[in-house]
């Protein structure tokens, strides 16, 4: 996979699958933007791993269910790297709860974390890509998400 000089935002990339995706992209030449809502230490660790391997990466802490944070994430990406070629929507969360105990607030929170964050990031990324040379949006999912 040749990602030489491609610019990629990988959401939820401070740990687990996102971390692995970020390392793979960087190993194949991409400039990577690492994101996390809470895991600042993990995000900075991934940036350090990529830098030590000769790659380029930055970390942006962002709650992707908030439009303001999504705008800041993509503005920072374009300001730092000059564009955007790839978005990997990997962020998500699961708060298991028995169905009969679930509440509307639980479901709204789940939709914010697992659906609306993906939509907000995709819309912003697609607009940036449309202004440039196009790009790719990759969506991941999990069996544990609601």
For residue 109, the domain's CATH number is: 3.40.50.720
In a domain, 144, yes or no: no
Range 90-105 average pLDDT:
92
pLDDT at 3 over 50: yes
pLDDT at 94 over 90: no
- This prediction has a pTM of 0.94
In a domain, 37, yes or no: yes
Query: How crowded is residue 61: how many other Cβ atoms within 10 Å of its Cβ?
Result: 17
Q: Alpha-carbon distance 28 to 21, whole Å?
A: 11
pLDDT at 126 over 60: yes
Domain of 99, in residue numbers: 7-139
Q: Give the three-class secondary structure for 4.
A: coil
In a domain, 73, yes or no: yes
pLDDT at 89 over 70: yes
pLDDT at 36 over 50: yes
Q: What are 37-79's pLDDT values in tens digits? A: 999 999 999 999 999 999 999 999 999 999 999 999 999 999 9
Average model confidence (pLDDT) across the chain? 95
In a domain, 61, yes or no: yes
Q: Alpha-carbon distance 56 to 49, whole Å?
A: 10
Q: What is the dihedral of CA 21, 117, 48, 41, to 10 degrees?
A: -130
pLDDT at 143 over 90: no
In a domain, 145, yes or no: no
Q: What total of structural domains would you count in the chain?
A: 1
pLDDT at 100 over 80: yes
In a domain, 2, yes or no: no
In a domain, 54, yes or no: yes
Q: Alpha-carbon distance 76 to 82, whole Å?
A: 9
In a domain, 71, yes or no: yes
């Amino acid at each position: 996979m040749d990602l030489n000089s491609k610019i990629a935002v990988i959401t939820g990339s401070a740990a687990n699958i996102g971390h692995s995706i970020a390392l793979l992209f960087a190993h194949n030449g991409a400039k990577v933007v690492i994101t996390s809502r809470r895991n600042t230490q993990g995000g900075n660790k991934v940036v350090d791993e990529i830098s030590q391997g000769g790659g380029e990466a930055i970390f942006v802490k962002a709650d992707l269910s908030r439009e303001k944070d999504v705008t800041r994430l993509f503005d920072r990406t374009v300001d730092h790297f000059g564009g955007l070629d790839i978005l990997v929507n990997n962020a998500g969360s699961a708060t298991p709860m028995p169905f009969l105990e679930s509440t509307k607030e639980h479901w709204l929170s789940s939709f914010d974390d697992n659906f609306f964050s993906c939509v907000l990031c995709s819309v912003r990324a697609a607009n940036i890509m449309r202004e440039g040379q196009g790009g790719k949006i990759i969506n991941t999912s999990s069996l544990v998400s609601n």
